[in-house]
Chains A and B, each alone.
Chain A
């Protein structure tokens, strides 16, 4: 019986969004988003400002209602039964404010009690999570003295307190200094290592690439692409490479470059350097490099401009803007 229950439990997707949409008057913040996540995976939710990322997360955490569609966490509709749906979820939405008159320990006790944790559990876990976010030394200080970064750390601590199965992070490193950002990324990676499901929105592509298995790219309230980071990084598409040469290229040599297969655009970048927009995947890039060498161009370097994910992001967003 318990085995059956466990299997049924495992079959339920931690996140399932079906045709989710949100309108504010005549403005559509989210068109119709359908998205699912498997248990134990980590999804980076990417998109420019106003893409609909925060709107999606706010619907998922019952801060706002969808105009259409449905958001379910572990198979439970967030709007119909928010208390059950959010029971196994820890969330950090934007940079929340806390009650200034409380200390981190008291804040965690408040959240813990609301979640039904015992006094002993709250005490033990509070100590642990404050240590994880490097706030142990501030455990008894009033939050009104805290900086934005410290509040962000506390927000992460309260999200971890009840050892949730699903963590929803909206820009988790926002407001942190570079060291703090690295520490938070390490925390998220260790949570991922523990098999927790992570749904994380971020502007920082490198952060997503470092932390997440999958990405979903959103713009103008629409899902542009979803897949694994590895797969999408290899997917053929238009990407920009910079080729450097032993000396400056003549106009004729630039025309030769333009005539190569897969080369869409050639632009002089600096003395002896040229940016090439290449249409195609790794094979196309290798062919362009081979053709340059066979043509007698004295190539001294050939490197992508930005990560493959960044290139995919930019090309898809540009495409979406054109539409």
Chain B
């Protein structure tokens, strides 16, 4: 009477998904998603502005917020996945079972990726339907943007797991994940070009491909038409996808290693 590692991963994933379905986080995330979609669709007509007629341009306004949505998904569905077993003492009932720690990490990782993917998919689904209704068509570029968003999501979830495996409290893991992607990476990404270094290896910079595929502008002019044209650096698609993959693999492997070594001694 022993379950295979694959069956155990599946069991852990199924129960983690049940956690998200029964918890308030997924509901909160879906509400937030609804608010963003409502604002993007409701504000332009309310302010007397016209929708973009090109489907790519129309969805680009959605894609600009994808990174934030992906980071929030990582924060809500990944950052506390591992640390909570220690902090909330659920490990005391889970770990003495004949299940390897890496199986637990993989099961939880799969659940976090699936739930985050559902959120991103719903967002892009809403954007695509709106684009179809408003502009009368959708493009392959919208699909590409969606795929890039999923790729970025894997790197965010991987890094969130790494943080979750190394910190002591759910609060610190959640806060660090949020600030890493919303602040720290962005600061590094902004400072590196000053030293003539392209930040291609920073995931938030690589995430530029999500909206760049829809609206390939390379920069913007400050409001009121004054000042110089400010260029924004977006790595090429291949580089970005490699960066996402490497972040995901390296962070996930490190998370497994740290979670395996971590003792439940509190």
Contact = CB atoms under 8 A, between A and B. Distances in A.
A199 to B, nearest CB: 12
A155 B3 contact: no
Contacts of A61: 95-96
24 contacts: A58-B265, A63-B92, A65-B263, A83-B2, A83-B99, A83-B100, A84-B98, A86-B97, A87-B2, A87-B98, A89-B96, A94-B89, A94-B92, A96-B90, A97-B88, A97-B89, A101-B19, A114-B11, A114-B99, A115-B1, A115-B97, A116-B1, A116-B2, A168-B96
Nearest to A57: B96
B138 to A, nearest CB: 38
Interface residues of B, number: 28
Interface string B1-21: 111100110011001001100
Given A96-B89, A99-B15, 4 more contacts: A65-B263, A99-B90, A113-B7, A114-B98
Given A82-B98, A83-B99, A115-B3, A63 B265 contact: yes
A292 interface: no
Given A97-B88, A115-B3, A116-B3, A62 B96 contact: yes
A287 to B, nearest CB: 50
A63 B11 CA distance: 21
Contacts of A85: 98
Which A-B residue pairs are the 4 nearest by beta carbons? A116-B3, A96-B92, A96-B93, A61-B96
Given A83-B99, A113-B11, A99 B1 contact: no
Interface of A: 24, 58, 61-65, 82-87, 89, 91, 93-99, 101-102, 106-107, 110-111, 113-117, 155, 158, 162, 168
A102 B90 CA distance: 12
A6 to B, nearest CB: 17
Max count, chain A CB within 10 A of own CB: residue among B7, B15, B88, B100? B15
A94 B95 CA distance: 13
A116 B93 contact: no
Contacts of B95: 61-63
Nearest to B100: A83
Contact of A86 (B4, B96, B264): B96
Contacts of A117: 1
Given A58-B265, A64-B264, A98 B93 contact: yes
A94 B89 CA distance: 10
Contacts of B91: 63
Max count, chain A CB within 10 A of own CB: residue among B2, B91, B92? B92
B19 A99 contact: yes
Main secondary structure of the interface of A (DSSP, over half): loop
Nearest to A59: B263
B23 interface: yes
Contacts of B18: 101-102, 106
Contact of A158 (B8, B22, B89, B93): B93
Max count, chain B CB within 10 A of own CB: residue among A82, A84, A155? A82
Contact of B92 (A82, A97, A99, A102): A97
Max count, chain B CB within 10 A of own CB: residue among A24, A63, A97, A162? A97
A71 B80 CA distance: 31
Contacts of B96: 61-63, 86, 89, 91, 93, 168
Nearest to A162: B1
B30 to A, nearest CB: 17
A64 B1 contact: no
A155 B93 CA distance: 7
A43 B92 CA distance: 21
B90 A114 contact: no
A168 B96 CA distance: 10
A155 B91 CA distance: 12
A61 B88 CA distance: 18
A102 B16 CA distance: 11
A101 B92 contact: no
Nearest to B263: A64
B93 A114 contact: no
A97 B90 contact: yes
A277 to B, nearest CB: 39
Contacts of A158: 93
B168 to A, nearest CB: 15
A86 B8 CA distance: 15
B24 to A, nearest CB: 10
Interface in B65-103: 88-93, 95-100
B183 to A, nearest CB: 32
A89 B95 CA distance: 12
Contact of A115 (B2, B88, B265): B2
A27 to B, nearest CB: 12
Given A114-B8, A115-B1, A162-B1, A83 B90 contact: no
